[in-house]
Structure 1
Amino acid sequence: MNIKLQKSRLQKKSRIDITGSKSESNRLLLLQALYPTIRIHNISNSDDATLMQKALHSDNETKDIHHAGTAMRFLTAYYATQKGQQVLLTGSSRMQERPIQILVEALRQLGASIQYTKNEGYPPLLIKGTQLSKKEVTLQANVSSQYISALLLIAPSLQKGITLTLEGKITSIPYIEMTLSLLNELGVKTSFKNNVITVVPYNAPAEEKEFTVESDWSSASYFYSLVALSEVGTTITLSSYKKESLQGDSCLAEIYTKFGVETIFEEKSITLTKTKETTQEKITLDLKNAPDIAQTIAVTAFGLQLSCEMIGLHTLKIKETDRLVALKTELEKLGASVEITDVSLYLEKTNSIRKNISISTYKDHRMAMAFAPLALRVPIQIEKAEVVSKSYPDFWSDLQSIGVQMEEI
């Protein structure tokens, strides 16, 4: 399905309810598999969370999680702990190109039995569940936080818990802290001092424990972009959000003040308001703790005809696509000048935006959603727009409800 977005104007005032965070949902789903007395409310309706639930509830030996990267990492750790159970964990062709050796080696340090069935270092994985009797494990600190979180989530179910040493400078700390906060809320004792994380063993809670998932801040990013590209005075209210969020992408509230957008936190929602046109000519950001919003920010800056420099983007090369290359390619089709390295992106200020350009999405949900707000400036087409279901199935209908005009082509 391709979608043509006409040049549009947002309603002056609107409201959107956004489903639960994919990151929180998948962490809680793994914990629920280990501790069935957990009850979860406002679970994400994303493909990733749905595939995670399907895999956990399926009796099939083969678990196919398609494009769901978080599920691949978390389930690798989970099934390694399931004594007496054997599974073949696989995914899409792109998933079989995404490295997982770092996590597999860490689990092997703990005593896991995992073999590669195709290419060394990549899924599919043959996992024979066993009792992990060791507790000491070491990882490079700059690896994907999902590897670290996968280990921390299984840690309380292990005989001795885990002592995880991270070597070097830690990246994506908010996602690690999200995992530890959820463990603490469950009742698990943890410690995070210097570069050493300790999680102690924990018995199943006797009583039901309820968790309500906060709405997804990554999904909110596209509405920040829409407000930034809209007229002064435009407001969008989003629910359900809280000021003291566990999600790293909540830094959006501060970042988008650079684009003239103010955030008001209410009891269970946030209201975004375009208060002024930005006077800045260049935006400089370090996104090592929130790399998933880099695409949104780059497109916002381009739409506002600003220069933008972002660093801390090293994890973007191993996502659904190489997001740095994809961003450069699609922005340049629109008339931008972009330079990238393995860790950074620099967007040069431009004076015009080409109309009716067709944006390739590379099987990456964030490519589709990040470019959609440009419809407030020029007509634009999004190829294979259904890819948004990975994290935000209602995205296109929500955009229509606030004034973005579109048609399938």
Structure 2
Amino acid sequence: MNIILQKSTIKRKSVIQITGSKSESNRLLLLQALYPEFQIENVSNSDDSRLMMNALKSTSEIIDIHHAGTAMRFLTAFFAIQEGREIILTGSDRMKERPIKILVDALQALGAHIEYLENDGYPPLRITGQNLTQSKVSLQANVSSQYISALLLIASKLDNGLELTLEGDITSIPYIKMTLSLLDEIGVKSSFIDNVITIKKNEKKLKAKTLVVESDWSSASYFYSIVALSKEGTEITLSSYKENSLQGDSILADIYVHFGVTTIFSDHSVILKKESHILNPLVLNLQKAPDIAQTIAVTCFALGVSCDLTGLHTLKIKETDRLVALKTEIEKLGGQVTITNNSLQLSEGDTIKKMASIATYNDHRMAMAFAPLALKTELVIENAEVVSKSYPSFWQDLKSIGFKITQ
């Protein structure tokens, strides 16, 4: 389904309830499968979390997680320790192009039995669950944090726990710390000293408790962009958020000051307010929060501000090559973009072409990152339903604040 976003003006004040974080939800869903003693509230309503939940409950021999990259990584580790069960874990054509060898090698070093069914290093996988007795493994520290978190999530169920050594500079530390914090919340202790993470085997039943998932900061990023492109005095209130968030993307509150957006924390909500501001070129290393790169790049383009974004090497193995996709689509609209394997540079300019048709590449973040441009010009978003991967009610929420959207 393609949609037309007409040039829009949003309400001066709006309130939006955003669903639970996909990152937190998927971690807690896996932990709940290992430790049924605790309950979860405000679970993400995203496709990815729904697929994760269904896979964990499934009794089928073939489990298809479609485009859900987090689920592929986490479930590979989960099924590796399900003794006596053999499954085939597969996904979409794009998923079969996304590497998983680093995680499989680490699990095999711990004693897992995993085979590649098509191309070496890529899904689909045949996983025969068994008791893993080895406890020490090393990974390059600059790999996707999802590989690291997958190992940490199962660590307390391994016979001898886990000692994970990260070699080199660590990418996405906030996501690793999120995993360790959630383990701590349910009662699983860990240590993270220098580049070594240690988790002991859990010998006791955990205390029953209910954990409430914080709303998704990645989803909040699109509203930061909308406020940045809006008139002075515009306010959007988003819930439910914590000032001491576990999510790396909460750095948005600091980054968007650059665009004149002030963040006020109040009663589990954030109020985003546009204030007068002088715009300057943006230089930013997003190694710790790469998922908000698309939103920031489009915000800069819409405001005519140059940017130099680095730390983006993991974007090349997402739902699409996000760096190439950003360059292609921003240039359709009249921007000038240069990319490398880990960076994006956008030149300053104030020309935005009208009625460009934005391809989304089966990538939810492409659709949502470009949507705020409707405050500047009319545009088409192709395959707009892709937003359901992380934010199914996105288009309805935009309409509620004043966006004009037609099919």
* Normalised-by-shorter TM-score class: over 0.9
Greater mean deviation of Cα atoms: 39-48 or 181-190 = 181-190
Q: Equivalences for 1:197-216 in 2 at 5 Å?
A: 197-203=197-203, 205-216=205-216
The separation in 1 between residues aligned to 2:363 and 2:163, in whole angstroms, is 35
Question: How far 1:188 sits from its partner (Å)?
Answer: 1.0
2:377 match: 378
2:142 match: 142
Secondary structure at 1:191 match in 2: strand
Question: How far 1:159 sits from its partner (Å)?
Answer: 1.3
Secondary structure at 1:60 match in 2: coil
Question: How far 1:204 sits from its partner (Å)?
Answer: 5.2
- Structure 2 gaps of 5+ residues are none
The separation in 2 between residues aligned to 1:291 and 1:347, in whole angstroms, is 16
Listed one character per residue, the Cα deviations across residues 228-280 of structure 1 (whole Å, up to 9, x for unaligned) are 00000000000000000000000000000000000000121000000113x23
1:34 match: 34
Question: How far 1:287 sits from its partner (Å)?
Answer: 0.2
Secondary structure at 1:276 match in 2: coil
The separation in 2 between residues aligned to 1:365 and 1:400, in whole angstroms, is 18
The separation in 1 between residues aligned to 2:206 and 2:291, in whole angstroms, is 37
1:318 match: 317
The separation in 1 between residues aligned to 2:273 and 2:205, in whole angstroms, is 43
Q: Is the CA contact (8 Å cut-off) linking 1:141 and 1:171 kept in structure 2? A: yes
Q: Equivalences for 1:300-379 in 2 at 5 Å?
A: 300-379=299-378
- Please, what is the CA RMSD of the aligned residues? 0.7
> Is residue 183 from structure 1 mapped to residue 183 from structure 2 by the alignment?
yes
The separation in 2 between residues aligned to 1:281 and 1:79, in whole angstroms, is 49
Large movers: runs of 4+ above 6 Å:
none
1:246 match: 246
Q: Is the CA contact (8 Å cut-off) linking 2:303 and 2:350 kept in structure 1? A: no
Distance of aligned partners of 1:112 and 1:163 in 2 relative to their CA distance in 1, 3 Å threshold: same
Secondary structure at 1:51 match in 2: helix
Question: How far 1:206 sits from its partner (Å)?
Answer: 4.8
1:60 match: 60
The separation in 2 between residues aligned to 1:376 and 1:88, in whole angstroms, is 46
* Number of residue pairs aligned between Structure 1 and Structure 2: 407
The separation in 2 between residues aligned to 1:370 and 1:219, in whole angstroms, is 10
Using structure 2 for the length normalisation, give the TM-score: 0.99
The separation in 1 between residues aligned to 2:398 and 2:206, in whole angstroms, is 44
Q: Is the CA contact (8 Å cut-off) linking 1:232 and 1:274 kept in structure 2? A: yes
Q: Percent of aligned pairs with the same residue?
A: 65
Listed one character per residue, the Cα deviations across residues 71-126 of structure 1 (whole Å, up to 9, x for unaligned) are 00000000000010001000000000000000000001100000000000000000
The separation in 2 between residues aligned to 1:117 and 1:44, in whole angstroms, is 31
Q: Which amino acid aligns with 1:372?
A: A
1:220 match: 220
Secondary structure at 2:130 match in 1: coil
Secondary structure at 1:67 match in 2: coil
Question: How far 1:168 sits from its partner (Å)?
Answer: 0.3
Secondary structure at 2:99 match in 1: coil
Secondary structure at 2:334 match in 1: coil
Q: Is the CA contact (8 Å cut-off) linking 2:171 and 2:287 kept in structure 1? A: yes
Q: Is the CA contact (8 Å cut-off) linking 1:35 and 1:204 kept in structure 2? A: no
Question: How far 1:175 sits from its partner (Å)?
Answer: 0.1
Secondary structure at 2:44 match in 1: coil
Listed one character per residue, the Cα deviations across residues 362-384 of structure 1 (whole Å, up to 9, x for unaligned) are 00000000000000000111000
Q: Is the CA contact (8 Å cut-off) linking 2:42 and 2:214 kept in structure 1? A: yes
